[in-house]
């Protein structure tokens, strides 16, 4: 079974977007759990590509192909990942902050929230503070999720939280992304931090129970 996990991870790292679905289907048919594939093949592939990107072993176009392959895999697995809670749990607007083009992690969190019963509005990448405010108002969001993957865009996260607070919107603010921490979340006045999809689901539920 672990062969499938390795094989799928390799296809993502090599950007084989035309083969990924067939291989995932084969793995699922053989009994590999969809969440196992997400965590140990798809996410793991991106984790291994990070250092290779930093050392120049792979370049942006190759990383983009891997990202595209991961998205194809995620889309295929999406309907299979459902924790059984189908009652509407609340409305979430989620996006990646201004200047930041990373969308995989945010999409994964959106997918987990959706499959846990939240109504999710994924507004995309490179979203200005005003874009978030507009979306919160448009969808009457209960929670807004902000994602940042670059240390340089953490400042945009701070500015987004500040604008949402300035406008006095009745919405809980959850933040996440690799360089973000619980401490940073507190420092910028967010209501909570989560490190991955499952903990984002728990956090959103907790924030709405308050």
Angle between helices 60-77 and 44-54 (to 10 degrees): 170
φ and ψ at residue 88, rounded to 5 degrees: -65, 120
Residue nearest to ligand B1M according to CB distances in the complex = 105
Number of residues that bind ligand B1M (CB under 6 A): 39
Q: How far is the CB of 53 from ligand B1M (least distance, A)?
A: 5
Of 30 and 162, nearer to ligand B1M (C-beta) is 162
Q: Which of 89, 158, 177, 207 binds ligand B1M (CB under 6 A)?
A: 177
For tokens 């969809």, name the residue: 34
- CB neighbour list of residue 102: distance below 8 Å, 6 or more residues apart: 96, 125, 147, 149, 150, 177
Q: Considering the rule CB under 6 A, would residue 142 count as an interface residue with ligand B1M?
A: no
Of 27 and 143, nearer to ligand B1M (C-beta) is 143
Q: Considering the rule CB under 6 A, would residue 111 count as an interface residue with ligand B1M?
A: no
Of 131 and 195, nearer to ligand B1M (C-beta) is 195
Q: What is the DSSP string of 63-123?
A: HHHHHHHHHHHHHHHGGG---S--S--EEEEEEEETT----HHHHHHHHHHHHTTEEEEEE
Q: Considering the rule CB under 6 A, would residue 103 count as an interface residue with ligand B1M?
A: yes
Tokens of residue 55, six digits: 């050392």
- Provide the β-strand partners of residue 176: 147
Contact between 174 and 207 (Cβ < 8 Å): yes
Of 23 and 102, nearer to ligand B1M (C-beta) is 102
Q: Which of 21, 53, 65, 163 binds ligand B1M (CB under 6 A)?
A: 53
Q: How far is the CB of 190 from ligand B1M (least distance, A)?
A: 9
Positions in the binding site for ligand B1M (CB under 6 A): 43, 46-47, 49-51, 53-54, 60, 63-64, 67, 99-106, 108-109, 145, 147, 149-152, 174-179, 194-197, 200
């Amino acid at each position: 079974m672990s062969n499938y996990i390795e094989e799928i991870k390799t296809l993502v790292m090599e950007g084989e977007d035309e083969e990924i679905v067939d291989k995932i289907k084969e793995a699922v048919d053989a009994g590999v759990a969809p969440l196992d594939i997400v965590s140990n093949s798809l996410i793991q592939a991106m984790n291994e590509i990070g250092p290779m990107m930093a050392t120049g072993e792979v370049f942006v176009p190759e990383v983009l192909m891997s990202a595209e392959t991961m998205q194809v895999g995620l889309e295929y697995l999406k309907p299979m990942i459902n924790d059984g809670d189908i009652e509407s749990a609340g409305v979430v607007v989620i996006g990646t902050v201004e200047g930041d083009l990373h969308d995989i992690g945010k999409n994964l969190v959106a997918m987990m929230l959706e499959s846990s019963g939240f109504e999710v509005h994924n507004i995309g990448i490179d979203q200005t503070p005003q874009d978030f405010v507009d979306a919160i108002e448009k969808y009457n969001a209960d929670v807004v999720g902000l994602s940042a993957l670059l240390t340089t865009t953490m400042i945009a996260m701070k500015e987004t939280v500040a604008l949402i607070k300035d406008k006095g919107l009745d919405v809980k603010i959850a933040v996440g992304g690799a360089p973000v921490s619980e401490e940073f979340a507190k420092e910028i006045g967010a209501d909570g931090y989560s490190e991955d999809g499952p903990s984002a689901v728990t956090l959103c539920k907790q924030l709405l129970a308050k």
